[in-house]
Chains A and B, each alone.
Chain A
């Protein structure tokens, strides 16, 4: 099995950090097919405008997918127990996202010693898009 992230992570340590390229219309079209989420609001400008939005916008689950990628770049996937997020704000086209995770506390989860990570995804203006949490086995 995989080794722990680090022998003794400390509260406040930033163990997740990754920056992603800007989100294009092409990315949204690809994600529509790759994810099975065919909601037209993410790819069809006419539909998005009729629903009251100025343009199409990013699938929340694409943004969570990037956050998950940043997370398992740092934490071996077999150690991931819980991954959750709140979608705080719509992520616009062209956003360049930065995903981060800091150790927030140590907890027992189903009898295992785990660390909790506080996760964020922000755009290039520093605006918060996702606020999440992960529980990882130590």
Chain B
């Protein structure tokens, strides 16, 4: 079981850089060919200062630049093989483009047992701001922990 007193606990902040090479690798992996993401002129025509990140890339930036990508797993004290991703949400407030430096500030917001304790849902919310202090996004996820059966 996961300690419900972890609700409200902040995890280590992460500073992440939106680097063009890593972003190109991500686009190629997904077969993303939309010019708005790869061509500065197309991005400018769409109103961006530089090429923007695709909609799910904030999740990746936080993991790539974290000192411990799976810090929350250590904090909640479970084995990585017992995790599943339950839900994911992005609320976009301002553009995120190549060259930005972002600050991710995650915290645990919920811990709830389900199905008679067979699983525990852990909610993590992350505020994202950029190098100008602009609040660019809120990212939230629900992680499903499959609990071992008790005899």
Residues of A at the B interface (CB closer than 8 Å) are 1-2, 20-21, 27, 30-31, 33-41, 47, 50-52, 59-62, 64-66, 68-69, 71-73, 76-78, 80-87, 90
Contacts and interface: CB of A to CB of B under 8 A. Distances in A.
A77 B80 CA distance: 33
A86 B86 contact: yes
Contacts of B81: 41, 47, 50-52
Contacts of B64: 35-36
Interface residues of B, number: 42
A20 to B, nearest CB: 7
Main SS at interface, chain B? mixed
A65 B54 contact: yes
A69 B83 CA distance: 25
B75 interface: no
Interface string B82-95: 11111111111001
Interface of B: 22, 25-26, 28-32, 34, 36-37, 46-48, 52, 54-56, 59-66, 69-70, 80-92, 95
Contacts of B37: 77
A66 B36 CA distance: 16
